[in-house]
Amino acid sequence: ETGVTQTPRHLVMGMTNKKSLKCEQHLGHNAMYWYKQSAKKPLELMFVYNFKEQTENNSVPSRFSPECPNSSHLFLHLHTLQPEDSALYLCASSQRPAESTDTQYFGPGTRLTVL
Amino acid sequence: AQSVAQPEDQVNVAEGNPLTVKCTYSVSGNPYLFWYVQYPNRGLQFLLKYITGDNLVKGSYGFEAEFNKSQTSFHLKKPSALVSDSALYFCAVRNSNNFNKFYFGSGTKLNVKP
C-alpha cells in the first residue's frame, strides 16, 4: 500500500474554498486514476491518465479539475464544491493500461468533507 | 453494458468456518475479474484476478475465487476465516473494450466473529 501515497488524508472545506488533493506513485507505473467512493455505492471512476495524457473523463463536473504533470504525480483541484461531493477520493496506478492482465493499485484515500 | 453485482451487503461467519462472498457479473466479451479488500481507513488492496486459464484462482492471505462462466459468477472463498479478515470486499470487472475502465460492485462487509 505504501506504493501509492495520498495527501492530505482528511480534508474539510467550505463550498467557496479551493483545495487540491495530491497522489504520488512510487511503482514506476504508466497510468493513474481518480475514483470517488461514497458509502454503499460502487466506486466511480472519475479520470484516467495514460503516460501523462488524460484518456478518460467520466462526465465529471468541472468543479473537479485533474492535473498530471508527470507519470508519478496526479492532482485533483477542487473549487466551489457541493456537500454531496463529500466522499473518499481514491487514487490508483497501474503499469500496463493497454493489457488485460493489468492490475490497479490504490492509495489510502483522502476523506473529503464539504460543509 | 458491463456490471458487477454483490448481492449481500454483509456476510457474518464464525472464525475457523469457511467463508464465501458472492459476485456475479455481466460483460460483453471476455470477462476480466478482480477482487479487492478494503480495511477501515485504508485504500483498496488487490487480492486476486481471473484473466484466463484455470477457473480456480488463488490469491493473497489464503483467499481463492472460482470463475464460473455458465453462472457468470466469481465468488470469493476461504476455507477457514480469521477475525482479521473482517473488512469490505469489492468485486470488479474490467471493460473488455476499454481496459482502463473497471466496474466495481457496491461491496460486501465481511464480519468474522471469534
CA B51 from chain centre, in angstroms, equals 14
pLDDT (tens place) for every residue of chain A, 115 residues total: 579 999 999 999 998 889 999 999 999 999 999 999 998 788 899 999 998 898 888 889 999 999 999 999 999 999 999 999 999 999 999 998 888 888 999 999 999 999 9
**Nearest chain B alpha carbon to A40:** B106
SS3 content of chain A, % helix, strand, coil (to 5): 5, 55, 40
Indicate which of B6, B23, B42, B102 best probes the interface with A, i.e. most A CBs within 10 Å of its own CB. Answer: B102
CA separation, residue B89 to residues A54, A72, B78, B82, B97 (Å) = 29, 27, 13, 15, 25
CB spacing of A108 vs B43 below 8 angstroms: yes
Grid coordinates given for A72: 508519478
**Nearest chain B alpha carbon to A30:** B100
Grid coordinates given for A78: 477542487
Is pLDDT larger for residue A107 or for residue B42? A107
A100 touches chain B (CB under 8 A): yes
Kindly report each contact of residues A22-27 with a partner whose C-beta sits within 8 Å and lies 24 or more positions away, as own/partner.
A22/A73, A22/A74, A22/A75, A23/A73, A23/A74, A23/A75, A23/A76, A23/A91, A23/A107, A24/A72, A24/A73, A24/A74, A25/A72, A25/A74, A25/A91, A25/A93, A25/A105, A25/A107, A26/A2, A26/A72, A27/A3, A27/A93, A27/A95, A27/A105
CB spacing of B36 vs A109 below 8 angstroms: no
Grid coordinates given for A40: 454503499
Q: Which residue has the cell 469490505?
A: B88
DSSP state of A84: G
**Nearest chain A alpha carbon to B93:** A100
**pLDDT over 90 at B13, yes or no:** yes
Distance to chain A for B46, nearest Cα, Å: 7
A79 DSSP β-pair partners = A18
Give B58-113 pLDDT, tens digit per residue: 999 999 999 999 999 999 999 999 999 999 999 999 877 777 788 999 999 999 99
A34 touches chain B (CB under 8 A): no
CB spacing of B41 vs A101 below 8 angstroms: no
Q: What is the Cα–Cα distance from B33 to B80, expressed in whole angstroms?
A: 23
Given A42, A97, A105, which is nearest B104 (Cβ)?
A: A42
User: Quick check: helix, strand or coil at residue A83?
Assistant: helix
Given A6, A98, A104, which is nearest B102 (Cβ)?
A: A104
B14 DSSP β-pair partners = B113
Which pLDDT score is estimated for A101? Answer: 86
